[in-house]
Amino acid sequence: MKKLLRTAVVGAGVATACLTLAQPALANSFSKAVGDGTVSYKDDTDQFCAHAYNTEGLRSVTVKLTPVNGSGPSHHWTDKNVNYSSGGTSGPTCRSLATAYEDTQYRAQIWSYWGERGTTVSRGTVTFNS
């Protein structure tokens, strides 16, 4: 009985180790609400996007994207919603990180604006790997 139990425990351990080692690399994709819009990163396309909500007047989301370690592009842009008479869009505005080395750590500083509030608000920082 002890031998059977030991065999079962060893077998379960080997199976667990095989499953753990066989899992694919975890994608670094995410989406986050930032008050007046969203930001997102899609690992499979290397795109970081900002999207200002198309509701209740003027809204915008500003992103400053910089590599923390490694090498890659830096970007600083603002996505404006459709309520702006100039430069507004109905969808997200994206920037490519395709030229960054794999697993470069990035920091995204995020701000948002809502016309009814009349102020720009810091929405914090997101750190992720490209």
Q: How many domains does the chain have?
A: 1
The reply to whether 81 falls in a domain is yes
CA distance 106 to 68: 5
CA distance 25 to 21: 10
With the C-alpha atoms ordered 53, 113, 79, 75, is the resulting torsion angle positive or negative? Answer: negative
The reply to whether 40 falls in a domain is yes
pLDDT for res 27: 52
Name the residue range of residue 111's domain.
29-129
The reply to whether 15 falls in a domain is no
The reply to whether 115 falls in a domain is yes
The reply to whether 10 falls in a domain is no
The CATH number covering residue 101 comes to 2.60.40
Per-residue confidence of the chain (130 residues) as pLDDT tens digits? 555 444 444 444 444 444 334 344 445 899 999 999 999 999 999 999 999 999 889 999 999 999 998 789 999 999 999 999 888 888 999 999 999 998 899 999 999 999 999 999 999 999 999 8
pLDDT for res 69: 86
The reply to whether 101 falls in a domain is yes
The reply to whether 23 falls in a domain is no
Provide the 3-class DSSP secondary structure of residue 19. helix
The reply to whether 106 falls in a domain is yes
Q: What are phi and psi of 25, to 5 degrees?
A: -60, 140
Identify the bridge partners of residue 65 per DSSP, sorted by sequence position: 75, 108
